[in-house]
A = this chain, B = another copy of it.
Amino acid sequence: METVIKVLDKPKLKNPVLIEGLPGIGNVGRIAAGYLVEELKAKKFAELYSPHFLPFVLLHNNVTELLKNEFYYWKNPRGNDLVILVGDSQAGDQSGVGHYEVVEKILAFAGELGVKQVFTLGGFATGSIEETKEIEVLGAVNDSKLAARYKDAGVNFTDTASRIGMIVGATGLLVGMAKNKGMEGVCLMGETTGFPILTDPRAAEKVLQALVKMLGLKVNLSTLDQRSKEMEEFLKKIEKMQQKALKQLSVKEGKEQLSYIG
């Protein structure tokens, strides 16, 4: 089985840009992108499934759900249409190969949609943040001229390398691999404590403020804090399930763990 994208609808999109927000540090990207989907009432039009996700189904009430990523679109009356990618899981949690494969599929699909620009949303961990301190958004790009273009968006493009040095997973690879496809890529990372157990709506809000400026969107961010509570519950549950699943799947010598599977 390969990573597959199941297309539910084929919207005609006008100069679409791809915005990615998957689970990660502080779930900053996931919350920011998820809020955008809800606030803009974006419509789901495709789902991505991968053998590189953990092999279990989640239960929503009594209904099984494969782990998946979801593509939403929003028709922008005043500018670029949006394609928003959110999901339960990053690919390849245990395998570099999975990460590359899933990102490759996402970009191939984005290319078919006419996407020329990719924005990825995430967090970066600082260990601790003083409550009173202004939350910073670090930026990275796949072409140095982009930092200049977006210099008024309130993003720190100067200290990214020295502060974090690298970006792991889809958030980084999407921007890096986009370049080889001739797409512009921008990564926005909100400062957070880095305890993954804590989703961080404050960092998500800062990231969204920057994105909104860059894309000239009008999005009401006032309900983000409240809405992120619901997402937090859901994301915590998935994280707990992933831990539990990994425990069941990891086979220990001399332990009777083999039969824990399904």
Residues of A within 8 A of B (CB): 1, 6, 22-27, 29, 49, 51-66, 90, 92-94, 96-101, 104, 120, 122, 125, 139-144, 147, 157-158, 160-161, 164-173, 175-177, 179-180, 185, 187, 194-197, 237, 239-251, 253-254, 256-262
Contacts and interface: CB of A to CB of B under 8 A. Distances in A.
Contact of A55 (B57, B99, B258): B99
24 contacts: A6-B180, A24-B261, A25-B262, A29-B262, A52-B97, A55-B100, A55-B172, A57-B140, A57-B173, A61-B144, A62-B139, A63-B140, A64-B141, A64-B172, A90-B261, A93-B251, A97-B98, A165-B240, A168-B248, A169-B262, A197-B256, A239-B259, A243-B254, A250-B253
B23 A259 contact: yes
Given A55-B92, A249-B168, A65 B176 contact: yes
A1 to B, nearest CB: 4
